[in-house]
Amino acid sequence: MAETEVRWVDVASYDELPAGTGKTVRIGALELALFRLTSGKVHAVHNRCPHKDGVLAEGIVSGEFVFCPMHDRKIHVPSGEVQKPDDGCVRTYEAKVENGRVHIAVPGEAH
Ligand code: FES
């Protein structure tokens, strides 16, 4: 069976990504939160908290986690998993850096 087609979209300059918080990126109907972690790695997740739609790009980043700005749920950025005692998961998107630019893999149906 065929995998869902993805396309890579250039969304930002790596050097311009903020440290300690996220950046909101829109690709068609998708709204993503882009994070540069202290490790230097870049990750992208759906920009809404599974609890009550808090904007994750406005959360505080600590290590590999972002804290939702609305009610402080702790979300593991690389996996999208909400940490205990809360539940839930945020969709993640593959990200890569090439020639100083951040590219995100988005599903074919997003365009
Ligand atoms: S909306 Fe994110 S913790 Fe409530």
**Structure confidence by residue, pLDDT tens digits, 77-111:** 999 999 999 999 999 999 999 999 999 999 876 44
- Does any ligand 1 atom lie closer than 6 A to the CB of residue 73? yes
- What's the 55 CA to ligand 1 centre distance in angstroms? 8
- What's the 34 CA to ligand 1 centre distance in angstroms? 18
pLDDT of residue 3: 61
The DSSP result for 40-95, as a single string, is: S-EEEEESB-TTT--BGGGSEEETTEEE-TTT--EEETTT-BBPTTS--B--EE-E
- What's the 1 CA to ligand 1 centre distance in angstroms? 37
Is it true that domain 6-107 has CATH number 2.102.10.10? yes
Please give the mean pLDDT across all residues of the chain.
93
